[in-house]
Every structure is written in C-alpha cells, then in structure tokens.
A and B are shown apart, each in its own frame.
Chain A
C-alpha cells in the first residue's frame, strides 16, 4: 500500500487538495465574517492585486531573485574553494573554520544594520544573502572531501597518485553529492538572507526588492499587496529549490542513491 502511494498520482494530488482546502477555508472566513481587505484580504483579492500591481511586483521579484542567485553563485564558488583549501591544508581549516562558525551562529538580522552602515544598500543586502548561503556549502563540501572510502584512498596510494590527482579524481567526486545537498539548503537560505537584508534596509534604501515592497505596503496599510508580495517570495523559493533539485538529479542520476528511482 505504501509503495502504491509512492507512485500513484495521489502523491501529487493530496498536497494540492490540502492546499486548495486551506485556501477555500481562508476565503470562507473572509466572506462569512465580512472582513474588510485592510484586516484580511481574501485569496481572490490577493490575486487581483497581483495582476493589477504586476509591473511593480514583478520588477521587485526580479531584483530579489537576482540578489539571491548572485549570492548563491558567490557562496557556491567561495564555499567550495575554501573547502578545497581546507582539504589540502589542515592549518587553514583550523584557523578559519571557527570564524566561519561564528559568522554562522550570529543571527543575520543582528549583523545586517551594521553592514548597512559600512556598505551601500545593494552590497549590504547581497552580503547578507551570501553570509547565510556560504556556510552550508562550506561545511557540507568539507565533510564530503573528508568522506573518502579509506580503501579507495589506499588504492590511489598504491597506484602512486599524488595529492592533486587524489583530490581531483577521488575527493571531489566523493564530495559532489554533499556539495549539491549544501547547495539546496543554501538556495533557500540565500533567499532568506536577501529578504532579511531588504527588510533591515527598509525605507532607508532605494532598494526595490519584494521584502522592501512588503515593508512599504505595511506603512501604507496596503495589506493585499503585502500578501501578493509574500506569495511571490514563496514562489521564488519553490522555483529555486526545484531548479537546484533538477541540477542535483542531472549530475547524480547515473550513480548516486539519492537520484535513483524507488523501483530499483
């Protein structure tokens, strides 16, 4: 039975149906209580606002998405590069890893105002997104580079492989699934970082990302637009996650357990 559920269309229909019910309930609550839109707009009102304000909102979506993606790419390159450096020189790992942890455990929302003082608004928002996306990639890739099968390592030694060849042909392929796992976490976190940065920048900046639109709409009591912007942020998150899952599947489908069909 459990196996049937895995493959049947119910697997997709069930969450969609639950989501539909929630939206329906939301709509009923608004209609039955005759709630005005500045207290709680109904789902149709949110959709109307989304369409009516599409120029402003889609422009903001692009700004937030761009910040998120640039931060993610920089975090992926930086995190992987630093992990490679860690793997080749333990002394670097011992000196830098604690600093990376400190950066990770300090709440971003507390660092953001400081960064806004020293950096331009755009750079500060980008840095916020980068800081949170960087750590999962660094720690996952480091874990992967250190997870080499000891027998395979012996085999490389027996074959007279040097450090560069061992890194390239053994450690990096071993670390790839770990790196991609980190990237998937980082994708979501980069969006969170961008939103936190935009909210911290608030009206001070001329930034026009989605989170900025939320803050701005709150000041104007434009609640339907707040919901519409929130909906777009959520969609952006889903889009990023789906894209990174696809990338992971494309790279691992031939060999890694995570990418194999359940029927195997």
Chain B
C-alpha cells in the first residue's frame, strides 16, 4: 500500500464517515475465474471515489457487489455498520431522500435507455417502479433533467439524441430518486474526449449540488485524477487493491486545473501506481 499526497480535508461535518465497507470480499465465477479476492475497502460519506485499474481487474464486479446486483462468494459487505442482510435490505440502509425510493443510483457503461420511451419516460422509470405516478413525479423528473441540461428534450426519443445526450439522460435517471450513493461503471468510456470533458465538469457540479457520494469505475488515469477525492488502484488476477491515493477536495477542478503542473504531477503519480499494480499482477 502506498499512502501518499495530502490528507483529504472534510468538506462537511458528516463527510468522511464510512457509508459502507467491504471486508475480505471475494467473488468467483464458476470454479475458474476469480474476479476478486480479499478485497478490503470502504466508501466514505460525501467522497468522490474512483476505482482505477486495467480491464478484468474486478473493479466493475466490486461495483455490482456494492449495488447488490451480485452476492460475494466470500467476505462481508456492511452498510452503515450493518452486515448480514439481504442485498435489497442493505441498499435501503443507505437511506434515500424519501422512503420507498431506491437508495442507489447506477449508471452503466452504455446509456441503457428504453428505446420505446421518451426522455421523460426514461427518467421517470425508477420513480414509476416505486409507485410514483407521472404527474406526481414530474417536478423531480424536470429537476433531474435540468441538472444535466436536458430540460428542453423531455419529449425526444433516445434515437434522436447524440451519444453524450443519451448518457446525460442515463445520469438524470440515476439522479431522479436523489440517491445518497451514485455508482458509475465507466460511464464516459464510449464518448469522444470533448463530450467527456464536458460531462466530467457537469458531473462534478451535480456531485457538489446534491452532496452525494459517488463511486466511479474508470480505466483512465486522467479522468480519475480530475474527478476524485480518492483513488483506489486495482490490480488484476486476482482483483484487489494495490494502492490508494488521496486528492485534496479543495482543489478547484476546472480547465485551468487540467493544464496545471499540479494535475500533471498527480497524474504521473497515479500512472506510476497503476504501472506498479499491473506489473505486480
């Protein structure tokens, strides 16, 4: 483990306390593929945590385990200090803004929109599944669309949108329930760089505005340094954490930061950690 850089400075009183923790978590698929082995990590309230690593290092698997979309083969996942609960119950412990709504927002690598529904209908989905009608849900839907800058496209269909706009709809759908925890699985990997930079900035703004916790899976060093307050570097075969880096949350993340020597130094450090992790694997 290499603990480097500045200590993260808590942004709010509640920030920094663990929201959930994984202890000795392993995940095997069948009898051959060991995706994760002995993974210890925690997610702290209010942080922007990136899971960085090469393909096949189990970072996406870790995200799915946290979401409760898969069960670990070994080890424990505890939410707010509670463990030994079924995935659905665990998720609820994170505590949504209002009861009955999913506590976790999940953004996939692909936009994963329903092609038969309009932008409005797609963003409505999580609330609809929780039993909230169209009219009742409308303010929340429009608020989420405004957050991602798509309030003018409520009646458009996914096929009419560009790749970046589809991803914005996908993010709005994850935000509409006001989740305390937002899980993102390489959401911008398929986008061009210009769109990606723009969405990075917008995502940071949403994160500050909603004061939520984000776990962000990526294989881009530059993206992880730009966005995160903390980075966990994964190594592959078996997947586990090789290094941890903290980045001062007080740093202003803007275009000037992208070209600053500080950013370059952080990227170099992260790259070195990633290279070491890959050699170790």
Contact = CB atoms under 8 A, between A and B. Distances in A.
Contacts, number: 56
A160 B112 contact: no
A35 interface: no
Nearest to B88: A160
Nearest to B128: A169
A155 B159 contact: no
Contact of A260 (B102, B106, B110, B159): B159
Contacts of A169: 125, 128-129
A176 B116 contact: yes
A254 B115 CA distance: 9
B130 A160 contact: yes
A152 B107 CA distance: 11
Contacts of A254: 116, 157
A154 interface: yes
Contact of A152 (B69, B91, B114, B128): B114
B69 A256 contact: no
- The SS class assigned to the A binding surface is helix
Contacts of B145: none
A250 to B, nearest CB: 14
A212 B130 CA distance: 58
B25 interface: no
Interface in B93-110: 102, 104, 106, 108, 110
A158 B115 contact: no
B67 A151 contact: no
Contacts of A160: 88, 102, 129-130
Nearest to A176: B116
A31 interface: no
Nearest to B127: A159
B114 A159 contact: no
Contacts of B117: 173, 255
Contact of B157 (A151, A159, A255): A255
A147 to B, nearest CB: 12
A161 interface: yes
B58 interface: no
A151 B108 contact: yes
B129 A161 contact: yes
Interface string A157-176: 11111000100011001001
Contacts of A161: 129
Nearest to A264: B159
Interface in A113-172: 149, 151-152, 154-161, 165, 169-170
State which size class the interface on A falls in: 20 to 34
Contacts of A156: 129
A161 B125 CA distance: 10
B217 to A, nearest CB: 14
B68 interface: yes
Interface in B42-93: 67-69, 88, 91
Interface string B149-180: 00000000111000000000000000000000
B126 interface: yes
A192 to B, nearest CB: 32
A264 to B, nearest CB: 8
A161 B115 CA distance: 19
Contacts of B116: 173, 176, 254-256
B72 to A, nearest CB: 17
Interface in A225-264: 254-257, 260, 264
B145 to A, nearest CB: 18
B101 to A, nearest CB: 9
A257 B158 CA distance: 11
Given A158-B68, A158-B104, A151 B158 contact: no
Interface string B119-138: 00000011011100000000
B181 to A, nearest CB: 11
A106 to B, nearest CB: 37
10 contacts: A149-B112, A154-B69, A155-B106, A155-B108, A158-B91, A158-B104, A159-B102, A161-B129, A173-B117, A255-B157
Across the A-B interface, the 9 shortest Cβ-Cβ residue pairs: A159-B129, A151-B112, A161-B129, A151-B108, A173-B116, A159-B126, A255-B115, A255-B116, A159-B102
